[in-house]
Structure 1
Amino acid sequence: MAAKSKSGLIAHGIAAQNRKGRFNYSIDETVEAGIVLKGPEVKSLRLGRAMITEAFAGERDGELWLFNAYIPEYQSGVLSRFDTRAPRKLLLHKKQVAHFLGAVTRDGASLVPLDIHFNQRGVAKLTLGLGRGRKKEDKRHAIAERDWQRDKARLMRNKGRDD
């Protein structure tokens, strides 16, 4: 849950979330990566209007980058002009980069950005998942499982009530 201050800024918590990421992919492994951002981009993220539903991570020059993530321009600042869909460098250890890039090339896995959040120190981080795409029947099974869990919780909640 995002903790918003009186000014409406997110102090720590989720700034943007890819809810379809866990539905369209079966995530095997996750890692928390830093993101290289400019000042106005961080301020804009704190307002909580960023979108990463169409974003993806990939390799460029042996490093991991976040592509197609939408961070809107910060409206309150004068010098806040930046490309809203610019590629942004991800900060990981070399061994982690090698592991993830190896899994992508060797196994055909995908790097799926799951959320952008602020940690307790107020630093923007990206949760990156290594996953495989789900087939249509797997998605149907996931929907049925989710519905059953919801119905089961509703039955257990209403069990003690006498109507």
Structure 2
Amino acid sequence: MPKGEGKLIAQNKKARHDYTIEETYEAGIVLQGTEIKSVRAGKVNLKDSYARIEHGEVFIVGMHISPYEQGNRYNHDPLRTRKLLLHRKQIHTLIGDTKEQGYSLIPLKMYIKNGFAKVLLGLARGKKKYDKREDLKKKEANRAIQRALVQKQKGTY
């Protein structure tokens, strides 16, 4: 999260496993009615969601915001497509980057910053199966090193 600000609402943990994140962008999100109350309650799921660019605007697809419990008939469709707010220059660079083969826009986190809901978008390239295995091997090696260091410090090595 930029500058360590904001309250984390939802995180897409699978995104860093399935994709290599090359660049991140902070975007505002257009919400309707009772959606912000559900967001503040943490009823958001970013899994299987992605962003796409249409007619010079960025939209997030597949993000699930649960209906607000006290919202009765004013609730909205939980899976509706929502507009993201970015600067025009950022959108133009994203258009150029996503046209390259293998790049896509993936939401990484959703958080509240200064009272506004924000989404951290990642410009991502999909990982191959062997890349994922390599990352798991590195992570396991680092864990083993940390375990050995802790045991050495305790004197039980």
User: How many pairs were matched up?
Assistant: 152
Is the alpha carbon distance of 1:27 and 1:43 closer, same or farther for their aligned partners in structure 2, counting shifts above 3 Å? same
Aligned to 1:87: 81
Find the partner of 1:23 among 9, 17, 20.
17
Aligned to 1:38: 32
**1:48 maps onto 2:42 in alignment:** yes
TM superposition shift of 1:78: 3.7
1:8-19 alignment runs, 5 A limit:
12-19=6-13
Using the alignment, how far apart are the partners of 1:126 and 1:137 within structure 2? 30
Using the alignment, how far apart are the partners of 2:116 and 2:96 within structure 1? 28
Aligned to 1:69: 63
CA contact (8 A) 1:111 1:130 kept: yes
Aligned to 1:156: 149
TM superposition shift of 1:106: 3.0
Over the aligned positions, Cα root-mean-square deviation in angstroms equals 1.6
TM superposition shift of 1:38: 1.8
Is the alpha carbon distance of 1:66 and 1:126 closer, same or farther for their aligned partners in structure 2, counting shifts above 3 Å? same
Is the alpha carbon distance of 1:159 and 1:70 closer, same or farther for their aligned partners in structure 2, counting shifts above 3 Å? same
Aligned to 1:140: 133
Using the alignment, how far apart are the partners of 2:100 and 2:18 within structure 1? 21
Using the alignment, how far apart are the partners of 2:51 and 2:79 within structure 1? 13
TM superposition shift of 1:14: 1.2
TM superposition shift of 1:155: 1.7
Using the alignment, how far apart are the partners of 1:80 and 1:155 within structure 2? 56
Structure 2: unaligned runs, 5 residues or longer: 1-5
Deviation sequence 1:80-106 (CA, Å, 0-9, x none): 410100011010011100101111113
Aligned residue identity for 1:147? E
Aligned to 2:3: none
TM-score (norm 1): 0.87
The share of aligned pairs that are identical, in percent, is 38
CA contact (8 A) 1:73 1:80 kept: no
Q: Counterpart of 1:146 in 2: which secondary structure?
A: helix
Structure ranking higher in helix proportion: 2
Structure 1 runs of 4+ aligned residues shifted over 2 Å read: 76-80
Aligned to 2:111: 117
TM superposition shift of 1:141: 0.5
Q: Counterpart of 2:144 in 1: which secondary structure?
A: helix
TM superposition shift of 1:79: 4.7
Using the alignment, how far apart are the partners of 1:40 and 1:154 within structure 2? 47
